[in-house]
Amino acid sequence: MSPTGHIEIVEPGLYSSIQDLGRTGYLSYGVPIGGAMDRYAHKLANLYLQNQENAATLEITLIGPKLRFHNETQIVITGADLSPKLNEEPVSNSVVIQVSPQDQLSFGSAQSGVRAYLGIKHGFQTTDVLGARGWTPGITPACKLEKGMNLAYIPARPSSFLHAKVKRHAMVAEQEIDSTRPVGVFAGPEFQLLSNRERVALLEGIYRVGAAQDRMGMQLEGKVKNSLMPIITGPVLPGTVQLTPSGRLIVLMRDCQTTGGYPRVLQLAERGMDQMAQKTVGDKVHWQLEHLERVT
């Protein structure tokens, strides 16, 4: 199968990028893992289309692009509800749509969540760089959609097949974007170095997403006074929550660096990462401590 189809970018929107499940095997060279911010929504889109879970989707942030399809295929939108429209007619998330040449997909206002995923049959066929198709600044030639760009895909004939199981799954997914729910976290490597009072302050605090937030990380507003010393630079992961000497929390996201020198007080649960991906400036964040195991 060759990518003979393409989407034309009529308007790029705020920040849309091709994503998958990220790069593995290059962390020792400082290459970020990257990949979809909300992996759950990304995988769900692929599940609807019966793609591989790693097939590339388009991650769309808050203000969606305007896209023109040049070949027939099937698409589905998951994650945030950004009021999608096909040829100016509203369409729903979590419904597989057959598109024809010249169809236009656009988006309106954000109803819930921040990041939507546009899945396409067989996945987007952007160039593989270091084992992944997802875009990461400094690694891939492109890092976000630009006007006039083309996105390649493999055209697909109409198909009406949609598994009942997938539909049920969708109902669960739609309940998932709820910004009032606590974000699941585990204790991080330096959590034990906090005093009891500091731990309580950290875990019971209510924070807000600050203005400094992107695919690398999100700074939270709301201070946690602490007396932790900087640590010897050590490994970090997406989902690592760092505490700065001034008491600020930084949640590392998918494109984060591979090492860091601030104490790692919490580590987001996988589902917690997906929840954070659906938050934006001003949204509330509070934690729910989970326990992996008692053997430490």
Partner 1 sequence: MKQQIPAITSLGETAVLVQFDSIIAEDLLDMLLCIKEMILLQKVEVKLQVITSYHSLLVIYPSAIEDFYSEKKWLFSVVEGAKVQKRSKPRRLLLPVCYDPLVAPDLELVSKEKKLSRSEVISIHCEATYRVFMIGFLPGFPYLGGLDKRLEIPRKEEPRKKVAAGSVGIAGLQTGIYPRESPGGWQIIGRCPIPLFDPLADPPCPIAPGDIIKFREISLPEFDHIQKHPQEQILFE
Under rule CB under 8 A, residue 245 binds partner 1: no
Q: Which backbone phi and psi does 246 adopt, to 5 degrees?
A: -80, 0
Query: Torsion over CA of 176, 177, 181 and 184, rounded to 10 degrees?
Result: 70
Residue from 95, 97, 129, 166 binding partner 1 (CB under 8 A): 129
Asked whether the beta carbons of 139 and 129 are under 8 A apart, the reply is yes
Residue from 93, 106, 267, 278 binding partner 1 (CB under 8 A): 267
d(CA 162, CA 243): 46
**Smaller CB separation from partner 1, 65 or 239:** 239
**Residue closest to 279 by CA, chosen among 22, 20, 35, 62:** 62
Residue from 1, 88, 90, 138 binding partner 1 (CB under 8 A): 138
103, amino acid identity: D
Burial grade of 250 (CB within 10 A; 0-12, 13-18, 19 or more): buried
Residue from 264, 274, 279, 287 binding partner 1 (CB under 8 A): 264
Residue from 10, 139, 142, 166 binding partner 1 (CB under 8 A): 139
Residue from 4, 11, 30, 288 binding partner 1 (CB under 8 A): 30
**Residue closest to 279 by CA, chosen among 17, 20, 79, 58:** 79
Under rule CB under 8 A, residue 232 binds partner 1: yes
Under rule CB under 8 A, residue 32 binds partner 1: yes
* DSSP-assigned beta bridge partners for residue 252: 217
Under rule CB under 8 A, residue 214 binds partner 1: no
Under rule CB under 8 A, residue 233 binds partner 1: yes
Q: Coil, strand or helix: which one is 98?
A: strand
**Smaller CB separation from partner 1, 158 or 245:** 245
d(CA 20, CA 258): 19
Encoding tokens for residue 197?
A: 């009072």
Under rule CB under 8 A, residue 244 binds partner 1: no
Under rule CB under 8 A, residue 234 binds partner 1: yes
Q: At what angle do helices 39-48 and 164-176 cross, to 10 degrees?
A: 160
Residue from 2, 28, 180, 227 binding partner 1 (CB under 8 A): 28
Under rule CB under 8 A, residue 275 binds partner 1: no
d(CA 81, CA 7): 21
Range 57-116, binding partner 1 (CB under 8 A): none
* DSSP-assigned beta bridge partners for residue 119: 76
Q: Taking contact as CB under 8 A, which single stretch among the options 20-28, 45-53, 96-104, 152-160 is the one that binds partner 1?
A: 20-28
Residue from 35, 79, 84, 239 binding partner 1 (CB under 8 A): 239
Under rule CB under 8 A, residue 13 binds partner 1: no
**Residue closest to 49 by CA, chosen among 81, 75, 79:** 75
Q: Taking contact as CB under 8 A, which single stretch among the options 8-16, 69-77, 85-93, 251-259 is the one that binds partner 1?
A: 251-259
* Residues making contact with partner 1 (CB under 8 A): 24-32, 129-130, 138-140, 186, 188-189, 231-235, 237, 239-240, 257-259, 264, 267-270, 292-293, 295-296
